[in-house]
Amino acid sequence: MNLNVIAHLRTKACLGLLALFAMTHASAQTTLRVTTIPEEAATEQVRKFTPLANYLEKQLGMKVQFTPVTDYPAAVESLVNKKVDLVWFGGFTFVQASIRSGGKIVPIAQREEDTRFQSVFIAKTNSGIKSLADMKGKQVSFGSQSSTSGHLMPRSFLLQANIDPEKDFKRIAYSGAHDATIASVVSGKVDAAALDITVWRKFVAEHKVNTQDVNVFFTTAPYFNYNWSVHADMPADVREKIKAALLALNPANPEHAEILKLNRSTRYISTTPENYKGLESAARSAGLL
């Protein structure tokens, strides 16, 4: 076989590989893969985000595939490794993803509520627990270890109150999700617990918890929390279309209002990595990073 033929075959092989890459890339752009941190049960996550996925399909002109993950670290790894394109992160999981990726995770939108988010501590009303100090010697539950509102910030506020969970609590449990945290107090598995204020309010509004039996005894100061994030390698035009679609959700539109209600939001606004520097500092101070 002469050199010209070999060169011709090599060129054809290269062109074939380039075509395959182009087809794969184009295929990837026809489906937007979405997941969220599992702050509640998978069935609830699907119920909450399916209408938003349908809305994004219409706005973006591409299929949106929503797939729940099993735990918070899985959500982080999924975006860092580009197994998904768009993730609903808590503030702390965003920080973890940003560090893991070398700063390549881009937050594009947050709920207006996430600029002043809070955690609540709950206990049975007949437990005698009325303050953070009353938790000493008790069994206490957080949510996931990677949760902002269910672990990082509650722990940060406890440390500010000179309460060291490892030294001062009889036992520490991690429920894995906010709904499971509430259940652990209701069932008596633990004496007190910390969780996302919006999940608590939802449970109260839906009469899934009786505040005569279990109620809030401490609410934290506000902090930045959740956001929708993408990988920096996502094409800029796709990123901007997603962001524009989220910011366009209008509570005056009945369809949009239902999506926002399911997402426990009044509206979405822009966000930046700088908004989460305080959470990173709190995580380092608490020994979680």
Position 76 scores a pLDDT of 98
Position 157 scores a pLDDT of 97
Position 229 scores a pLDDT of 98
Position 189 scores a pLDDT of 97
Position 29 scores a pLDDT of 61
pTM tops 0.75: yes
Q: Are 141 and 85 in contact (CB under 8 A)?
A: no
Q: What gap in Å lies between CA 1 and CA 8, rounded to an integer?
A: 11
Ranges assigned E (strand) in 37-131: 63-66, 86-89, 105-111, 119-124
| 243 three-class SS | helix
Position 18 scores a pLDDT of 36
Q: Residue 152 contacts by C-beta under 8 Å, 6 or more apart in sequence? A: 91, 92, 279, 282, 283, 286, 288
Position 41 scores a pLDDT of 85
Q: What is the DSSP secondary-structure string of 119-140? A: EEEEEETTS---SGGGGTTSEE
Burial class from Cβ neighbours inside 10 Å (0-12, 13-18, 19+) for residue 52 reads: buried
Position 7 scores a pLDDT of 42
Position 1 scores a pLDDT of 52
Mean pLDDT, contiguous 10-residue spans, the chain (289 residues): 44 38 47 94 90 96 93 96 97 98 98 97 97 98 96 97 97 96 98 97 96 98 97 97 98 97 96 97 95
CA angle 15, 32, 177 (to 5 degrees): 135
Name the residue with tokens 């509004």. 205
